[in-house]
Structure 1
Amino acid sequence: EKNALPDHIEKLLQDRQIKKEQEGPYIHILPREELKEYEESGIITSMESRTRAYIKIQDGCNQFCSYCIIPYARGAARSRASQDIIREAKSLLEKGFKELVLTGINTALYGSEEDFRSEEKDVYGIEIIVKQLNDLPGDFRIRLSSLEPTVINASLAERLLKYDKLCHHMHLSLQSGSDRILKAMNRHYGRKEYLEIVEVLRKADAGYGLTTDVIVGFPGEREKDFKDSADMVKRVGFLKTHVFPYSKRPGTKAAEMREQVDPQTKKARSAELIRIAEESSRDFLKGTIGDRRKVLFEEYDDTSGMVSGFSDNYIKVYCQVDDEKHGQCLLNTLKEVKFSEIYLDGVRGTFCDK
């Protein structure tokens, strides 16, 4: 899980310090300045999932959020060569995968290096690889993993909307709804810029799925700052909101900040924001009832007699089938479904071709 990466890095740094004290200096992680080029590790030809394949397109990060150790441990942003990505994508599509998920440490930074070479004209950043993948033949879709509003803006979001194979779902990390706290986090955007991205996406598609992360209890967060975060969750109408109480990461600026929020306050704010986020998610789902969307079916449950999968806007969708044979035949296929009611952690639907 990407969210657990800071904990692994923290433990690695602690272990390195202990060994350094015992045995003297040694190199376990290359210095940041030496991490300049993407290290190609070969293409992935198979994975556990039979429907969704993950393709790593970049490594490293240049953002230096005040709470994050990753830029120090993973080095500067480095993009993978587009020809290697396309080669891997073709191989996975030939094996039958129907969804390609583009991943990285900071996916939105793809193609951001000054010396990055691309033959595409009037296309830049993450759009470069999206366009090339979108041009590949076949019945499949593309999904972007977590994106940063420090990199993505309303203009780029609008440009991405023209690619028909790109899912109408974006995990756009908010982290805080308070401009004051965002500044302390060294996040280079504010509420206004974030909402401009949302407006562009929802104007094009009212059911555009947005998911996010929010940190509560960041050093110096006051009640008004927390209310600003709660307000943003309500205003945007996220499909899913991952709420994290702030925890110190040794070696980061935030760990040394004054006004550390006490554990009880962080716990209370986290519980409150989770409650608000769940209400927001349910309201979003209600607004999609009656919609028709393509669903990639991934599982058949013989107890309920249903198949389930995810729509392009990342809603879990359940459909009743005639029998197990019918259900198994639907796996790893894209079918148009009409949403009929809220059901479990998503919606229930009916096949449009019936």
Structure 2
Amino acid sequence: MMYIVRTAQKTTAKSKRKPSSDPGECTADFLVLEPAGYPMASMLDEYPEITDPGVFEHYAREQWRGFTARKGDYLFDRRMFPDFAYKVTDVEPPESVIGQNTHIIVSEVLVTTTPVVEFRSDVTFDDVVGQQSARKKCKLIERFLEAPEKFGKWAPRNVLFFGPSGTGKTMLAKALANKTHVPIIPVKATELIGEFVGEGSRQIHQLYDRAQEMAPCIVFIDELDAIALDRRHQELRGDVAEIVNSLLTEMDGIVERPGVCTIGATNRTDAIDPAVRSRFEEEIEFTLPDEKERLAILRSNVRTFPIPVKDLDLPALAKMTEGLSGRDLVAKVLKTALHNVIIDEREHVTQDDLCSSLKKLKNIPVSGNADRMYI
């Protein structure tokens, strides 16, 4: 898991502070600022990087001299990066005026990452029921992670897992990591969406910097469509182009990251930007389980029930659950039935309990046509 520490928070009021005209106000001894970003997203805006704190301090005093600084307020750049905001995190004395001798300190940490603990998976290929075609194609990734130096420019750096939710995409990625004994960094794509312009881009680059340190490893980005949304929809998300461009940079290998394999997962290939999708050398499809696979899922999970079962007809249940994913079978059929039995303080889980939870899931009679059982 990638842990993100955000030190800058959103605010609904970002008014510019006027210079003080009160000669009675005292001069600030020091001022601590924190980069906050732009009030509105624009791809034309560049995030200012401070390379010389001394030069910036002189620059800041020249433009903000005479302004009253209060903790929690914002100071806006008016020259090189117009409207870029810095949040006042500390000022001494409180509510004092910025003067020629005010010491200005900038905390240059808008987004940082805590050390990523290497996540080792205990999921095996035996835990993934079905998906034989996907498992076969994953042999390539397995060989690469076992000996990345042998592949050179032919490495499978970017692989797309796609298919309905709950079909085992995450489990197979974890099984790959377990089989090859490499760490996996699982990231929800929504965690990479920042609050300010440039934040999402920096988080993506930081993610890959950390992955490179841990290589060989897998970067598993779930819900990829959340950050790789087609850029034709920018009117819906102003930061889409920025995030997509950063992801493309990493996927193109402009910065060499040997031993890093990116696996993106989505159930909405139609929403992914064509430029991003074209970067995946392999696309591996995951499908809903067939009747035989549904039966195997039901049997393997029923064995782990904490209370006994009685008179179950799992083959019949497998026939009635066409269109359901493995996750639906476990979380919405088996778990619901088990919980109802526990709540009622009964001693056994029966076929009626399973059929009842299935009926509630689709709100149709369980004896109805199985062709109607779709998610």
TM-score (norm 2): 0.28
Structure with higher RCO (Cα < 8 A, 6+ apart)? 2
